[in-house]
Amino acid sequence: MVPLLGILTSSFVIALSGALMPGPLLTVAIGESTRKGFWVGPLLILGHAILELALVVALLAGLAPILNQKTVFGAIAFSGAVILLWMAFGMFRSLPQLSINLEARQTKGSHLVLSGIFLSLANPYWSIWWATIGLGYILHSQTFGLTGVLFFFTGHILADLVWYSIVTYSVSKGRKLFSDSMYRGLIGACACFLVIFAGYFGYSGWQKIFT
């Protein structure tokens, strides 16, 4: 149970690091919640989760034998480590100017669940994340069977759900629940975690290939 809780926690932190950074999904969440309220966040993440669940199922159904090869595992782990370090560097560099803007914005109405799907697909970083970090985590969690994958996916989606729920609740109530300094502190802490996880991914890849 302890390793599974470790997968859940680390998956949550890594996913939160990505969710915290501004992007098209966050922009729509802020804009729509000024008119439609708190449930904008959970509905957008529902669409996001449907897309990612389909991707995880596809990976498990068709790519498992390939992913279990030592060289493939090592390549994914090393790539994931590089991407994590790159993300951490970008987060550290952006800290002085980083700000979460919760000003009201008007956006066109749309089906929120479908918006969650299409906005995720339209984000190039989403594809990069799943091609490297996501695949690496699936490989790691697979060592604990489907239960490990379930814990990984639960932690991953919970991070998005928690963050977007906080944001849309804040906007819908017309006030901030946290300051820019708190936001920067959270980003900085997540960047530190990314460096740690990058080291772990790199070590896992090295161990898989050379031992």
CA distance 171 to 104: 7
State the pLDDT at residue 161: 95
Distance (Å, whole) CA 168 – CA 20:
13
Q: Which residues contact 57 (CB under 8 A, 6 or more apart)?
A: none
Residue with tokens 């460096």: 195
From the first residue on, what is the mean pLDDT of each consecutive set of 10 residues in the chain (211 residues)? Answer: 87 86 76 79 94 86 67 78 81 80 51 87 71 81 89 94 91 68 77 82 80 72
What is the per-residue pLDDT for 104? Answer: 47
Position 163, amino acid: W
Using CA atoms in the order 183, 34, 41, 131, what is the torsion angle rounded to 10 degrees? Answer: -70
Residue ranges of the domains in the chain? 2-210
Question: Which amino acid is residue 185, in one-letter code?
Answer: G
Concatenated DSSP letters of 55-83: HHHHHHHHSHHHHTSHHHHHHHHHHHHHH
Residues 48 and 25: beta-carbon distance below 8 Å: yes
Alpha-carbon gap, residue 208 to 101, rounded angstroms: 43
Predicted local distance difference test score (pLDDT) of residue 42: 94
Please identify which residue in the block is written with the tokens 């990612």.
52
pLDDT of residue 109: 44
